[in-house]
Amino acid sequence: MYHDEFRRSIDQPEAFWAEQAKRIPWFTPPTTILEYDEANHARWFVDGELNICHAALDHHVEQGRGDQPAIYWDSPVTDSKRTITFAEMRDQVARFAGALRDLGVEKGDRVVIYMPMVPEALVAMYACARLGAIHSVVFGGFAPHELAVRIEDAEPKVVIAASCGVEGDRVLPYKPIIDAAIEQSRYKPEACVILQREQHAAELGMAIDHDWSALVERAAPAECVPVKGSDPLYILYTSGTTGKPKGVVRDTGGYAVALAYSMETIYDVAPGEVFFSASDVGWVVGHSYIVYAPLLRGATTLVYEGKPVKTPDAGAFWRLISEYRVTSFFTAPTAFRAIKKEDPDAKLMAQYDISCLKALFLAGERLDPPTFHWLDDLLTVPVIDHWWQTETGWPIAANLHGLEPMPTKAGSATVPVPGFDVQILDREGEPSGAMEQGSVVIKQPLPPGCLAGVWRDPQRFHSAYMAAFPGYYLTGDGGYFDEDGYLFIMGRTDDVINIAGHRLSTGEMEEVVGAHPAVAECAVIGIHDALKGQLPVGLVIPKDGFEGDELTLENELIGLVREKIGPIACFKQVLVVDRLPKTRSGKILRKLLRNIADGQEFGVPSTIDDPASLQDVHEAMKERSVGAAEEARQV
Ligand code: COA
Ligand code: AMP
């Protein structure tokens, strides 16, 4: 079954996706299924007309789901819970869309959203979609500078934020972050809408500030504006290899079709069931599987403002599954590593009836075999690793639970999802055989739902994804197929690192560290961490004549990355060194540094300029207990 469906999706993509498009209530069904633009990139459903807000809300109300919960909100950090039905959600969204329209927001305008995990974040996103405006949600753990970069690039007419986020027992005021970001940005939005939360009232002192409730009170509901299938729904910035994040542009029609298809074939979710994705609206998983896909499917989405542990304990997920009768649960492996650390025998799980759960899905980083086995032994339901990225918007490889479940293999995301012609190429662009590791690429055309471009930067779209192997999309991951056609994703081949399922750029951290006046040269590498998967470590050479205190410099650099990128970068280790191992052409040997920090065997490459530098760095890492450097051995 899987194999037939996969083959059809690759051999007859137009016929296959024309069929899948019937899952969506279009205003005008598409007649052109697949088209190529002037740069030869696939465009799906260009002449179809729809509105994703209509498909996810109004349509279900019209079909009799008005009284069904659309959102369960559970926030242990504020001790609050709320249920919002499909009819209530449609009405709230329509009113807030009316408020945005009153502020001048129209089809094609951009709106930046900086909000914690509250239902209003979803209201704001759907309200933009209702008007045909393009939202760009920025994760709350990013600092003002990161927000400023996104504001400057997206040029939003309006910024929407909450007065605060709540991280464990800490209340984090957001307004100062917004004000600082707008101050730093050369582009200035026309309005800033603030949702006042009980935990902290923001001062609305700027001329552009508006109070969410006051705006909504005055607003009349707005109807859904029809958009074309290829019109953009959102821009989501993601870390690239440089300091400037990439604005991944998602279209509307292809995305809606892909999500609807995935809810049945991958997640096996039926209308009326409860889907829980423990991510954040600021990440792609949040966009796809908290906000849009569950509601498109007529399912209820559980929005959780809390952590896997400490809010209040490592039983939080089990409680949520039990209390809301969750049927499909999705999180990152790191969340379970945190739970396992606190409750190794999962004693807290026994307190809850989780018999409603049909499957557990994990993504965001590699599902390491020990975590897989811990979960597989613990649960009676399938534990499904699936692989995807911000750019694709939905899974590239998975065990297709709703189509044909397959035996799992620890460490593998199983098989390519229909629509994704995944191949492994070697450096020369030649196909690799089974068990041979190489670059994981996707043969064009990318299926519906994948990125339509990089916001206002077609050149970067081409150079980052399409140039390396003409005819193929470069995923940036390395991996291989085994003899049974199972795909193993082994990690990034570029400067992107994965910290607790969050994607960050070491290149960007290097730019921040390198800008410190006392720093002559630096390298930031991602090293293995048992809890978060990877953590960044900075190695820094001070400028000649530097006479300051090394520890002070290290702390300043840690503070700088926190201030410029944000706490989510988890940049907490810096070593001042005299020299860095480089090739004779001056390239820092980062892979070698990573191997040493990870305690692996390492040789001295023939291309190295100054072999003694390697020993110096190794000694420094050992002394400061960086990663497992102590175990590293020169061979
Ligand atoms: N707003 C502001 N700050 C935030 C934030 C947010 N939304 N999210 C995280 N932060 C801050 C944290 O408070 C922490 O700051 P600190 O250095 O002052 O302590 C820092 O960013 C790092 O956060 P995090 O990586 O979440 O670490 P943690 O120690 O608080 O929690 C885990 C560890 C494993 C529990 C947590 O990383 C987790 O839940 N991971 C799952 C990730 C996930 O779901 N990813 C989704 C991708 S599918
Ligand atoms: P993001 O764009 O933030 O979703 O990060 C995408 C990156 O996370 C991918 O390119 C992979 O490196 C990694 N990733 C996500 N899911 C998996 C998975 N199931 N297995 C291995 N790596 C994964």
**pLDDT in the model for residue 196:** 98
Residues 446 and 520 in one domain: no
Measured over the CA atoms of residue 76, residue 77, residue 79 and residue 85, the dihedral's sign is: negative
Residues 464 and 553 in one domain: no
What number is the average pLDDT over the span 597-618?
Answer: 90
Task: Give the C-alpha separation, 318 to 346, whole Å.
Answer: 10
392 pocket-lining for ligand 2 (C-beta < 6 Å): no
**DSSP state at residue 354:** -
Looking at the predicted structure, is the pLDDT value of residue 242 above 80? no
What number is the average pLDDT over the span 545-565?
Answer: 95
Give the CATH number, domain containing residue 598. 3.30.300.30
Q: Which of 334, 367, 368, 389 to mutate to test the pocket of ligand 1 (most atoms within 8 A of CB)?
A: 334
Residue nearest to atom 7 of ligand 2 (CA): 389
Residues 300 and 437 in one domain: yes
**pLDDT in the model for residue 40:** 86
Residue nearest to atom 6 of ligand 2 (CA): 389
Q: Phi then psi for 57, rounded to 5 degrees? A: -120, -70
**pLDDT in the model for residue 585:** 85
Helix (H, G, I), strand (E, B) or coil at 309: coil
Residues 7 and 109 in one domain: yes
- How far, in Å, are 52, 129, 550 from residue 60 at the CA level? 12, 16, 61
Residue nearest to atom 14 of ligand 2 (CA): 365
Helix (H, G, I), strand (E, B) or coil at 561: helix
pLDDT band per the 50, 70, 90 thresholds, residue 582: very high
Residues 444 and 582 in one domain: no
pLDDT band per the 50, 70, 90 thresholds, residue 240: confident
Instruction: Please give the number of the atom of ligand 1 that sits closest to the Cα of 568.
Output: 21
Distance 497 CA to ligand 2 centre (A): 10
413 pocket-lining for ligand 2 (C-beta < 6 Å): yes
Q: Nearest 5 degrees, angle CA 485-CA 257-CA 284?
A: 75
Contact call for residues 392 and 451 (beta carbons, < 8 A): yes
Rg (CA), the chain: 24
**pLDDT in the model for residue 383:** 97
For 53, the token pair is 């807000």
Task: Give the C-alpha separation, 525 to 532, whole Å.
Answer: 15
3-state helix, strand, coil in the chain (%, to 5): 35, 25, 40
**pLDDT in the model for residue 464:** 94
The answer to whether the bond into 173 is cis (omega within 30° of 0) is no
Distance 87 CA to ligand 1 centre (A): 33
Q: Give the structural domain span for 627.
A: 500-631
Q: From the CA of 479, which ligand is nearest?
A: 2
Q: Output the pTM of the full model.
A: 0.95
Residues 420 and 552 in one domain: no
Give the CATH number, domain containing residue 29. 3.40.50.12780
Name which of 237, 476, 276, 297 is nearest 361 in CA terms.
Answer: 276
500 pocket-lining for ligand 1 (C-beta < 6 Å): yes
Name which of 425, 465, 135 is nearest 282 in CA terms.
Answer: 135
Task: Give the C-alpha separation, 490 to 593, whole Å.
Answer: 18
Looking at the predicted structure, is the pLDDT value of residue 352 above 80? yes
Q: Which of 388, 568, 572 to mutate to test the pocket of ligand 1 (most atoms within 8 A of CB)?
A: 568
309 pocket-lining for ligand 1 (C-beta < 6 Å): yes
Name which of 7, 150, 42 is nearest 465 in CA terms.
Answer: 42
Q: Phi then psi for 285, rounded to 5 degrees? A: -60, -40
Residue nearest to atom 13 of ligand 2 (CA): 365
- In which element (H, E) is residue 93 found? helix 86-102
Task: Kindly give the residue spans of alpha helices, DSSP state H, lying in 168-305.
Answer: 175-184, 212-218, 253-265, 284-286, 293-296
Looking at the predicted structure, is the pLDDT value of residue 395 above 80? yes
Question: For residue 312, is it within any domain?
Answer: no
The model's pLDDT over 22-76, given as tens digits with 9 standing for 90+, comes to: 999 999 999 999 999 988 899 999 999 999 999 999 999 999 999 999 999 999 9
Question: For residue 522, is it within any domain?
Answer: yes
Residue nearest to atom 4 of ligand 1 (CA): 141
Residues 475 and 505 in one domain: no
Distance 332 CA to ligand 2 centre (A): 10
Distance 74 CA to ligand 1 centre (A): 18
Q: From the CA of 504, which ligand is nearest?
A: 2
Residues 428 and 504 in one domain: no
Distance 365 CA to ligand 2 centre (A): 5
**pLDDT in the model for residue 586:** 87
Question: For residue 454, is it within any domain?
Answer: yes
558 pocket-lining for ligand 1 (C-beta < 6 Å): no
For 264, the token pair is 């049945």
140 pocket-lining for ligand 1 (C-beta < 6 Å): yes
Q: Mean pLDDT across the chain, nearest whole number?
A: 96
Name which of 48, 42, 49 is nearest 447 in CA terms.
Answer: 42
Q: From the CA of 474, which ligand is nearest?
A: 2
What number is the average pLDDT over the span 317-326?
Answer: 98
Distance 568 CA to ligand 1 centre (A): 6
Cα–chain center distance at 616:
37
**% the chain with pLDDT above 70:** 100
227 pocket-lining for ligand 2 (C-beta < 6 Å): no
pLDDT band per the 50, 70, 90 thresholds, residue 114: very high
568 pocket-lining for ligand 1 (C-beta < 6 Å): yes
For the chain, the domain total comes to 2
Question: For residue 166, is it within any domain?
Answer: yes
Question: For residue 489, is it within any domain?
Answer: no
Residue nearest to atom 48 of ligand 1 (CA): 364
Residue whose tokens read 């025998």: 345
Looking at the predicted structure, is the pLDDT value of residue 449 above 90? yes
For 605, the token pair is 């490459």
- How far, in Å, are 14, 305, 580 from residue 514 at the CA level? 49, 36, 14
Instruction: Please give the number of the atom of ligand 2 that sits closest to the Cα of 496.
Output: 12
Looking at the predicted structure, is the pLDDT value of residue 635 above 90? no
Residue nearest to atom 2 of ligand 1 (CA): 141
Residue nearest to atom 15 of ligand 1 (CA): 567
Question: For residue 343, is it within any domain?
Answer: no
**pLDDT in the model for residue 8:** 98
Q: What is the largest CA-CA distance in the chain?
A: 74
DSSP for 107-132?
A: TT-EEEEE--SSHHHHHHHHHHHHHT
* Burial of 562 per CB tally in 10 Å (0-12, 13-18, 19+): middle
For 270, the token pair is 């039926």
Residues 127 and 252 in one domain: yes
Contact call for residues 303 and 120 (beta carbons, < 8 A): no
Question: For residue 370, is it within any domain?
Answer: no
Task: Give the C-alpha separation, 618 to 278, whole Å.
Answer: 39
367 pocket-lining for ligand 1 (C-beta < 6 Å): no
148 pocket-lining for ligand 2 (C-beta < 6 Å): no
What number is the average pLDDT over the span 310-326?
Answer: 98
Residues 249 and 281 in one domain: yes
Amino acid at 146: E
